[in-house]
Structure 1
Amino acid sequence: MLKHQIKVAQSLLSSLAAGGRGTSGTPHPIQPDKILKLYEFEGSPFCRRVREVLTTLNIDYEVYPCPKGGQRYRNEMKKLGGKTQFPFLVDDNTGDQLYESQQIIHHLFKHYGHSGQTPKKYSHYPKIPVAALAGTIINGARGVWVNQAILQREAPQQLLELWGFEASPFTRIVRAELTELELPYTFHNAAKERWQDQGPAVLRLKPGKYTPLPGGKREQVLKVMGDNIQVPYLVDPNTGVKLFESAEIVKYLKQQYSNMV
């Protein structure tokens, strides 16, 4: 338990290092007809930039984890794009396949932002991602290397499903585990849509029963989760398992998809 609490503290500091980017998003996203595919790994600061924007746009997407030392999706990505560089976005709606994080960000705002323009704070990232790199280091470089204890070398028949948002420290812990186990999943963004959403599920700024913004994306998310929104939330359609708590999710993933407990 202490080990998990340390992970939570490191993950929280990692979120703070990025200044809260990847927390809030539009309540009315332009969800692509064909889901976007992102080849990336959790500990990459360049991939983090893209994930932050995807949360800002509140878009769902498929993740194909490519940790260092991994084989499955690194090889698949190289066949698609011709080189091993991350992040790598595949957009079957436009036919684009993009590598550079800044190009991907411009692409996302152009096609899935309401104005079609990249906001200034997202248009000129520093070449050296100091804040995001610091976040990776603070987080113990989790989600960088493949877990050599993986037993199941074939991908699960169906993609796992994870609800969360980029800056959620508890969600980050789960994403790192999914990366290290090379488990593909659909990430359902549940970005904060207004000030009433701010704060963890049991300590939101607005007290009382949680009520989502009418017509917002969180209204649909609430139908999935029940009477409150709490992330991370994992659904494994391969086994029928549904879990909320990050510690329980990590334990389950290790038991189900590796020889570690």
Structure 2
Amino acid sequence: MNRTLDVVTSLAATLARLGGGLRSGHLGERPDKLLELYEFEGCPYCRKVREALSILDLEAMIYPCPRGGSRFRPIVKERGGKHQFPFLVDPNTGVAMYESNDIIAYLFRVYGDGEVPISLRLGPITNATAMLASAWRPGFGGFARPSSAPEKPLELWSFEASPFCRITREVLSTLEIPYRLHNVAKGSPSRQAFLARSGKMQVPFLHDPNTGVDMFESADIVDYLRRTYEVR
């Protein structure tokens, strides 16, 4: 896709959700162990959960499960009994669950102040706008492409509402590359540590421990991921 069109449609997806996941909110207890989320970009229900993670400033291990993927989808079937996404695993409490609304309620109850933001509790309206956001990026991040699996998971500093971060996450999803998601939405207390780590407040920022690469700029990251991991 033309770069300008790529950015414009990703921005439209953000606007469809009125910037959901742009800012962190009231934070509660912090988990000792990383949450695990099995999901894929383009899924409107997964989008809602990712927004919740951004608002709650929660890190998570992301295991991309695009359609046609074989790397992590079988794990979801084995652990939960069905291929349905999103699927959250919380090793801090032993909880494993499907259903985006249930996951969101759980996250805000355990790691927030118990109150789900209105943008995520409008029922059919929330679902419709999440679907509209996906419609602006039809198929992006939703279907697997052949790739080589990294030995170690990558790390991505991101937040859900950023159109540039979305473009990066779509490619990670398509290539079934697992990664540790560091949420640094506006107002996030994690931003100071990120600034010390990266030298400037700009996302997306990718770290690949397999190659030692650190990089900004979604276009450069996308090119790197495809050159390094896509099997052509």
Aligned amino acid, residue 238 of structure 1: N
Aligned amino acid, residue 39 of structure 1: Y
Q: Which residue of the partner structure matches residue 195 of structure 2? A: 222
Q: Deviations over 1:47-89 (max 9, x none)?
A: 0000001100011111000000101100011111111000000
Q: Which residue of the partner structure matches residue 235 of structure 1? A: 207
Aligned amino acid, residue 179 of structure 1: S
Q: Distance in 2 between matches of 1:99 and 1:142?
A: 22
Q: Measure how far apart 1:31 and its partner are.
A: 2.9
Q: How does 1:1-261 map to 2 (within 5 A)?
A: 3-26=2-25, 30-113=29-112, 115-126=113-124, 129-147=127-145, 150-152=146-148, 155-193=149-187, 216-226=189-199, 228-259=200-231
User: Contact (CA 8 Å) 1:38, 1:90: kept in 2 or not?
Assistant: yes
| TM-score, normalising length: structure 2 | 0.94
Q: Measure how far apart 1:5 and its partner are.
A: 1.9
Q: Distance in 2 between matches of 1:151 and 1:123?
A: 37
User: Contact (CA 8 Å) 1:29, 1:59: kept in 2 or not?
Assistant: no
DSSP-derived class of the 2:96 partner: strand
Q: Label 1:174 to 1:29 Cα distance change in 2 as closer, same or farther (>3 A).
A: farther
DSSP-derived class of the 2:68 partner: coil
Q: Distance in 1 between matches of 2:207 and 2:53?
A: 21
| Superposition CA RMSD, Å | 1.8
| TM-score, normalising length: structure 1 | 0.84
User: Contact (CA 8 Å) 1:25, 1:192: kept in 2 or not?
Assistant: yes
Aligned amino acid, residue 222 of structure 1: L
DSSP-derived class of the 1:50 partner: helix
DSSP-derived class of the 1:62 partner: strand
DSSP-derived class of the 1:86 partner: coil
Aligned amino acid, residue 257 of structure 1: Y
Aligned amino acid, residue 88 of structure 2: L
Gaps of 5+ in 1: 195-215
Q: Give the length in aligned residue pairs.
A: 232
Q: Distance in 2 between matches of 1:82 and 1:146?
A: 21
Q: Distance in 2 between matches of 1:240 and 1:27?
A: 35
Aligned amino acid, residue 55 of structure 1: S
Gaps of 5+ in 2: none
Q: Distance in 1 between matches of 2:78 and 2:192?
A: 39
Aligned amino acid, residue 45 of structure 1: P
Aligned amino acid, residue 210 of structure 2: N
Q: Label 1:60 to 1:29 Cα distance change in 2 as closer, same or farther (>3 A).
A: farther
User: Contact (CA 8 Å) 1:15, 1:135: kept in 2 or not?
Assistant: yes
